[in-house]
Structure 1
Amino acid sequence: MLLEGAIGDAYGAGFEFVYRLIIRRRNKLKRYKRHPFYRTICGHYTDDTQMALALAELIVEGLELTRLNIANKFVEVFKRDVRQGYAFRFFGLLKEVNSGQELLDKIKSKSEHNGSAMRAYPIGVLSTEKAVLEKATMQAAITHDTDWGIRSAQAVALIAHFFMYEKGRKAQLIQYLADWQHLQWASNWQGEVPMKGKETVEAVLSLVTQGESMSKMLIDAVNLGGDTDTVASLVMALGSVCSEIEQDLPKWMFVQLENGPFGYSYIEQLDQKLLAQLPRATRG
């Protein structure tokens, strides 16, 4: 799940808010593409994956998911491996602070952007919907303490939980979310995806509920345009734990993903440890 999320992130990063004509011409799933403006991130994941890794590490390490522990981990993973993709002000704040408490003290968290949702899927491994909702809300409120900032993070974590715990068929996913969130999500998204939590979740839901293979879903996610790295990362992470979706990503996407200290090998090992948290009967 984490590895596929990183692959979607790295591939989508080459197309983020690029002209649609360029996307259609280059989005052939042949190699990682260089973004016209952020040329150093080719084949590298962004903040989306880095923050998801932070939550996954907390879960694997057995640390309680408290506000302070989450904030400390956000600062830790950023400091050890500074990379592009963060919002300008948040990037500056992470460079400035030296602890989670400093982050909590200084951050302005009234955003409805999709940052809280993009990282939430590892929380789906928790054993109950109650725990998933509680911890998704907690981590979201650190940076996105708004209605849609929280609801979008809850939705992503619940989707991951639904698939990992085999709660039903894809066709039942929208009703499952409605039952737990008392909210009816749309799943017929078309057009460019803005950096907003609500719209991002609806785009992801549209792709996951209608998709049949990972490779086709990745192409379709990027073809939407807009915040392509976040949409592609979420669709790949969530699709990877859905038994109804063909796992057909080309091998080059794994081989050519960055493999530094926190690259492919590290993510693969963390992924295995995270999924080992699931009851044995539900493991793929």
Structure 2
Amino acid sequence: MSSVVDESVTVRRVAGALTAYACGDALGVPYEGRPPTEDGAEVIETPRASDRWAAGATSDDTALTLLVARCLVDGGGEVDAVTFLSRVAAQDPPVPGAGPSTRAALAAFRATGAVPDDREGGTNGAPMRALPVGWSVPPERVDLLVARTVELTRATHRAPEALVAAVVMAGCASWSVSGAPVAVVVARAVELVEVARPVCGDAPRLAGLVGAVVAGGWSPPPSGVGLDAAETVAAVLHCVRSAGSVRDGLVAAVRCGGDTDTVAALVGGLLGGGSSAEAVRAELPWSGLVAVPDAGVVWRLASGLVALRESVR
């Protein structure tokens, strides 16, 4: 009976994480590409349109993260890079707002039908869509977490720093929905960098930034958080480490400036893992004004991901 209860609790946590991820994405969209801001929470939390997005819209971050979750569930956890790229390429209409590494990978795939054998793709699209992998794997199966993350990430991002960044975010997500305190989730990031190294290669910049965050010695760059994978992970961990709630974390992420939708989405995905979808919506009353995925879809994906998680214990 206890395992059934534990599984149900984890499903609720994954649903909360996915809901908070989409909320963070939508909150960050109007501030994307802008410098850091001191806007008050009441201003940041008022959905409005940007040059590219309607008020309350989520971006490619949520679209691709949902696609990763669907691929994992549909494939029983066995998803390869070619299958993932095929599904991205088949989206009609195409995924809006995809980043430079993803666009380049799609162009190459359409031309050759294969995943390039290179070390290109170092942007933050790698960690951005990694959380569902962590939701599908328990923390003790770090070998499977690394393998599954790398296979799904290399479809578009093959630079070592990006691959390791994806592993770090997937691992943090796995710990988050296991009920680990925020301090533990952040501390695990240091270990995950080392665990990923034999498979992904060295990531010295990421290792240095993560270490600085854990030691409390990192601050967001004055120009805002860029598309660099390592910098994005540092910003996410910085916001998570200092947040008192999901709401606090999302507002802090937007205030960092730069790629605010990705940072806020990942912050929401990690902090929301300690809650439920209903609790996230109650804490974020403005969530009713944004394009959060349908509750039924969220629950089905969460249930499928947690079934995968339980099957490999």
TM-score, normalising length: structure 1? 0.81
Specify whether residues 209 and 19 from structure 1 end up closer, same or farther in structure 2 by C-alpha distance, changes over 3 A only: closer
String of CA shifts for 1:7-54, please: whole Å, max 9, x gaps: 111111111012445x6268634431211x21x432121111111111
1:60-99 matches, within 5 Å, as 60-61=73-74, 62=76, 64-76=78-90, 79-87=91-99, 90-91=102-103, 94=106
Contact 2:99 2:125 in 1 (8 A): no
Aligned to 2:13: none
String of CA shifts for 1:33-83, please: whole Å, max 9, x gaps: 211x21x4321211111111111012222251222222223223xx23434
- How far apart in 2 are the matches of 1:80 and 1:98? 15
Aligned to 2:10: none
Which letter does structure 2 place at the counterpart of 1:250? L
Aligned to 1:250: 284
Alpha-carbon RMSD: 2.9
- How far apart in 2 are the matches of 1:176 and 1:6? 24
String of CA shifts for 1:218-266, please: whole Å, max 9, x gaps: 11100010000000000001111136xx84532331x22237xxx4346
TM-score, normalising length: structure 2? 0.74
Asked whether 1:272 is paired with 2:306, we answer: no
Aligned to 1:154: 167
Aligned to 2:183: 171
Choose 203-212 or 181-190, whichever is displaced more: 181-190
Specify whether residues 213 and 26 from structure 1 end up closer, same or farther in structure 2 by C-alpha distance, changes over 3 A only: closer
- How far apart in 1 are the matches of 2:118 and 2:104? 13
- How far apart in 2 are the matches of 1:264 and 1:55? 17
Runs of at least 5 residues in structure 2 that lack an aligned partner in the other structure: 1-16, 195-206
1:171-210 matches, within 5 Å, as 171-182=183-194, 183=207, 185=210, 186-187=212-213, 188-191=218-221, 192-210=224-242
Runs of at least 5 residues in structure 1 that lack an aligned partner in the other structure: none
Specify whether residues 108 and 258 from structure 1 end up closer, same or farther in structure 2 by C-alpha distance, changes over 3 A only: farther
Aligned to 2:46: 31
Aligned to 1:237: 269
Contact 2:81 2:155 in 1 (8 A): yes
Asked whether 1:16 is paired with 2:50, we answer: no
Contact 1:27 1:219 in 2 (8 A): no
Displacement of 1:91 in angstroms is 4.0
Q: How many residues align?
A: 266
Match of 1:124 among 120, 129, 134: 134
Contact 1:13 1:41 in 2 (8 A): no
Specify whether residues 83 and 41 from structure 1 end up closer, same or farther in structure 2 by C-alpha distance, changes over 3 A only: farther
